[in-house]
Structure 1
Amino acid sequence: MAEPTKHHKACEDTDNETAAPSIPAHARQSINHCSLPADILGGLEYQRHPIPLEIDGVRELHAQLFERLDIEGAAEERARQFTAYMSACFSLEHPEEAGLSGRKRRHATYLRVIRGWSFDSDGREAAALKGWVESRFGLLARYHVDALRDEDEDAYRHYAQARAAGLYGTNAMEAQLDLLYAYTQYEFARRQPGTRHLRLYRGVSRVREHEIVARLDRRHAVLLLNNLNSFTATRERADEFGDYILSTDVPVAKVVFSSDLLPGKLQGEDEYMVIGGLYEVELAWH
C-alpha cells in the first residue's frame, strides 16, 4: 500500500486554513446509510480532518467474520477467509441456492463488478457502483458517459437505466459491496494503524471536465470529484492516463477498495477506488 502522507499543507497545516467550502446541495442527498451525513463527508473539511466511516449495521451483522480476522496475523490468510466468507454468505459459488436462475446474472458478484469498473468506468457495473455510493454515502454521481446535471436530461436517464441493469438479478449486490468496504477499512486499520491519508494520483486528459469549485493558485484548486473515482499510488502510472496529473491526499476512510487487498483476484495492484466529494488537489502537466 502507499506510504502515509507526511507533509501536505492542505491536510496537515491548519494554522492558516480558510473556511473550507461545503459540498453543493445539488451534489448530495439529504439521507444516507453511514455514520456521517453527506454534507460533512463530502466537504473539504472532511478531507482535511477525516474520521472513520461505517455503513450502518455492517460490522454488527457480520461480527463473526471480523472476530475471525482479529485472531489472524497474516494478511494473506485474512484475504482468504474474507473471500470464503463472502462466497458462503452470498452463495456466490451456488447462486441457485439463493434463488437465482438463468445464465446472464448468475456470476454477477462483487469481484465481477470491481473488474467491470476497472475495464470501463462508464459501464453497467460502474453505474451500479456509483448507485451504491449514492445510497450508502449520499454523494450523487456527477458523470457517467456524460455530465449528470438534471434528472430530466437523457444523460441521467441513461445512467439510471444502467444503474438498475447493473443491480438487476444479482444476489444482494449492494450488501456485498457494503461488506467489501468494511473489510477494506478493517485491513487499512490493521496494516497502517493511525494513518489518515494516502497520497494518490489521477491522470486526466482535460482538467476543465472536472467541476472546479475554487482556484487557489496556478497549481492548486478545489475540485468536486465524481462520487466514485480511480486513483493510483504511483505518479508514473497516472501519467499513462492523461496529460494532467491530479495529486491529492485521500482520506483512508474514502477508499472503497484497493486491489492489493485480495492478491491474485484482480489486476491493477496499485489502483484505488475512491469516494468523491470536494478535494484540494495539486495540478501538474507533462
Structure 2
Amino acid sequence: MQRSAVVAVPKRRKPTSRGTIPLLLLALPGVIWFLVFAYGPMAGLVVAFKDFNISQGIFGSAWNGLDNFKYFLASGDAPRIVLNTVFLNVLFLGASLLAGLLLALMLNEIRGHFYRRFMQSTIFFPYFVSPIIIAIMLQVILSGVGGRGGLLNNLLSVVDLPQTNWYTEPGAWPWILTIVKVWQLGGYTSVIFLAAITSIPEEVYEAAAIDGASRARMALSVTTPLLLPTMGILVVLGIGRIFFGDFATIYAIVGDNGTLFPTTDVIDTYVFRSLRTIGDFGTTAAIGLFQSVVGFVFVTAAVLVQRRVDRESSIL
C-alpha cells in the first residue's frame, strides 16, 4: 500500500508582548493625563454629600447626606433650568446635525477641487471663533444705542416692521442661540460627514447612474441612507452631553441678564452664578454630580436603543 503523504502543519507562534510595548508607551501620556485630570478630581465628589467648610477641608467637613441634592431639587429653579438645558441641547444637536448633513451633501457635489477646499475651510472657520467675539457680533446685529438699533432692526425698519429690543425678549433666544450654534458647528459637523462619504464605494454611485438616477437622487437615496450610521453615533455622543449646557457661549452672550433667564438659564450657568453669589460648594457639587449621573443614564439608554435598531453601527 502506498503511504499517504503527511502534511506538516506549521506551529502557530505564541503572541509576544514585545511588539505591543511601543504602542503602550505611546498611550502612556494620554492615560496619565486622564488619570490626573479626569479621574483624580473625582475624589472631590464627596463635597456633594458634605456641609463643606473651607477651613476644615474636603475630608474634614461634616457629612450631611443628601441635603445638598434636596436643596437643589426642592428649589423653584430646578425644573426651569433642567428643562432649559434639555430643550436647548436638543435644538442644538438636531439643528447642527441637519446643517452638517446638508452642507456635506452640497460640498460633495462641488467638482472644482480648489473651490471645494476653499468653501470647506470657510464654513469650518466659525468653529474657532471665540464666544466673546460671537457675543460682540450679536450685539452689533441685534442691539445698538438703547437696545433698539442694530443691523436686524435696521432691516426691519426698511420693510416697515416694528423694531424689537431683543435683549428683553426671552422667547426669541432659544432660536437665536440655535442659529449661533448652527453657524458655529455646521461646518465642523459637515467635515465628519464628508469623511464618511469618502468611504462609500464608487460602484454604488455607478449602479445608481446606470439606473438613471440624477445627482440629486443619488444624494437623497444613496448618500443620505449610508450616512445614517454616522449620524446615529453623533446622536449618541450628543445625548451624552445633553445635560451639559454650552456654558462659554451662553454666558458670554447672555451674561447676567436676568430678563433672559426664563429661556436661557441652563445648569452650567446656574451653577456658576450660584457659586459666585452664594459660595455654597456643596450644592454646586451636588448639581454637577446630578448632571454627570443623568448624562450617563441618557447615553447608556441611547446606546441600548441604537444596538436594538442597528446593531452593526452601534458603538458597543
More helix by share: 2
Q: Which has the higher contact order (CA 8 A, sep 6+)?
A: 2
- Bigger CA radius of gyration: 2
| TM-score when normalising by structure 1 | 0.28
